[in-house]
Structure 1
Amino acid sequence: MVTTGVIVAVNGLNPLSMLTLGIGGILAITPKLTPKVSSKNEAAPTEPEIIPGEFKIYRQAELNRTTASLLADGAILIAGEDGSGKSVLASAVVEKLQADGFMVAYVEPATPKQMLLEIAHQFEIPTEDLEGKSLTADKLKRAIASFLEENTAFLILDDAHCCDAKFRMWLKQLRRGGAPMLLLATDPPRTDIFINIPRIELRPLPEYAIREIMIQAAAERAIALKPSELAKLQERAGGNPMLAARAVDEEYLGLDVESGDHRRYFDITPLILLAGIAFVIMRFIGLGTGDQALYIFGGIAAAVFLGLSRLLYNLPPEDRRIR
Structure 2
Amino acid sequence: MLATGAIVAVNGLNPLSLLTLGMGGILALLAAVGRRSWTRSLRVAIASKFTPKVSSLDETALTEPEPDITPGEFKIYRQAELNRTTASLLANGAILIAGEDGSGKSVLASAVVEKLQADGYMVAFIEPATPKQMLLEIAHQFDIPTENLEGKALTADKLQVAIATFLEENTAFLILDDAHCCDAKFRMWLKQLRRIDAPMLLLATDPPRTDIFINIPRIELKPLPEYAIREIMIQAAAERAIALKPSELSKLQERAGGNPMLASRAVDEEYLGLELEGADHRRYFDITPLILLVGVVFVVMRFIGLGTNDQALYIFGGIAAAVFLGLSRLLYNLPPEDRRIR
TM tier, smaller: 0.5 to 0.7
2:243 corresponds in structure 1 to: 224
Instruction: Specify the SS of the correspondent of 1:110.
Output: coil
Alpha-carbon separation, structure 1, partners of 2:108 and 2:67 = 23
Question: In the alignment, is the contact (CA less than 8 A) between 2:67 and 2:231 conserved in 1?
Answer: no
Q: By how many angstroms is 1:236 displaced?
A: 0.6
- Residue of 62, 71, 75 corresponding to 1:56: 75
What is the root-mean-square deviation in Å for CA atoms of aligned residues? 2.1
2:40 corresponds in structure 1 to: none
Alignment of 1:98-109 (within 5 A): 98-109=117-128
1:81 corresponds in structure 2 to: 100
Alpha-carbon separation, structure 1, partners of 2:279 and 2:76 = 27
Alpha-carbon separation, structure 1, partners of 2:228 and 2:65 = 19
Counterpart amino acid of 1:131? E
Question: In the alignment, is the contact (CA less than 8 A) between 2:256 and 2:279 conserved in 1?
Answer: no
Alignment of 1:173-184 (within 5 A): 173-184=192-203
- Percent identical pairs in the alignment equals 87
1:140 aligns with 2:120: no
Q: By how many angstroms is 1:48 displaced?
A: 3.3
1:149 aligns with 2:168: yes
TM-score, normalised to structure 2's length?
Answer: 0.63
- Residue of 232, 245, 248 corresponding to 2:267: 248
Alpha-carbon separation, structure 1, partners of 2:269 and 2:127 = 28
The higher-RCO structure (CA 8 Å, 6+ apart) is 2
Instruction: Specify the SS of the correspondent of 1:113.
Output: helix
Counterpart amino acid of 1:256? E
Instruction: Specify the SS of the correspondent of 2:149.
Output: coil
Alpha-carbon separation, structure 1, partners of 2:151 and 2:261 = 45
Q: By how many angstroms is 1:89 displaced?
A: 0.1
Alpha-carbon separation, structure 2, partners of 1:198 and 1:134 = 36
Counterpart amino acid of 1:121? H
Alpha-carbon separation, structure 1, partners of 2:68 and 2:92 = 39
Instruction: Specify the SS of the correspondent of 1:70.
Output: helix
Instruction: Specify the SS of the correspondent of 1:249.
Output: helix
The gaps in structure 1 that reach 5 residues or longer are 1-44, 263-302, 315-323
* Residues 1:67 and 1:261: Cα distance change in structure 2 (over 3 Å): closer
Instruction: Specify the SS of the correspondent of 1:106.
Output: strand
1:21 corresponds in structure 2 to: none
Alpha-carbon separation, structure 2, partners of 1:63 and 1:140 = 30
Counterpart amino acid of 1:126? P
1:172 corresponds in structure 2 to: 191
Alpha-carbon separation, structure 1, partners of 2:137 and 2:69 = 37
Q: By how many angstroms is 1:227 displaced?
A: 0.6
Instruction: Specify the SS of the correspondent of 1:212.
Output: helix
1:68 corresponds in structure 2 to: 87
Extract structure 1 runs of 4+ deviating beyond 4 A.
none
Instruction: Specify the SS of the correspondent of 1:125.
Output: coil
Aligned length: 224
Residue-by-residue CA offset, 1:266-311 (whole Å, 9 max, x unaligned): xxxxxxxxxxxxxxxxxxxxxxxxxxxxxxxxxxxxx9xx99xx99
Q: By how many angstroms is 1:100 displaced?
A: 0.1
Q: Which has the larger radius of gyration?
A: 1
Alignment of 1:31-42 (within 5 A): none
* Residues 1:89 and 1:261: Cα distance change in structure 2 (over 3 Å): closer
The gaps in structure 2 that reach 5 residues or longer are 1-63, 281-319, 332-342
Alpha-carbon separation, structure 1, partners of 2:128 and 2:68 = 38
- Residue of 107, 113, 137 corresponding to 1:118: 137
Alpha-carbon separation, structure 1, partners of 2:101 and 2:65 = 35
Residue-by-residue CA offset, 1:177-230 (whole Å, 9 max, x unaligned): 110000000000011000000000000000000000000000000111011110
Counterpart amino acid of 2:175? I
Counterpart amino acid of 1:101? G
Residue-by-residue CA offset, 1:31-58 (whole Å, 9 max, x unaligned): xxxxxxxxxxxxxx97532100000000
1:161 corresponds in structure 2 to: 180
Q: By how many angstroms is 1:107 displaced?
A: 0.3
Alpha-carbon separation, structure 2, partners of 1:46 and 1:226 = 15
1:42 corresponds in structure 2 to: none
Alpha-carbon separation, structure 2, partners of 1:211 and 1:103 = 35
* Residues 1:85 and 1:261: Cα distance change in structure 2 (over 3 Å): closer
Identify, as 1 or 2, the structure richer in helix.
1
Alpha-carbon separation, structure 2, partners of 1:206 and 1:184 = 21
1:186 aligns with 2:205: yes
Alpha-carbon separation, structure 2, partners of 1:47 and 1:229 = 15
Instruction: Specify the SS of the correspondent of 1:132.
Output: coil
Instruction: Specify the SS of the correspondent of 1:147.
Output: helix
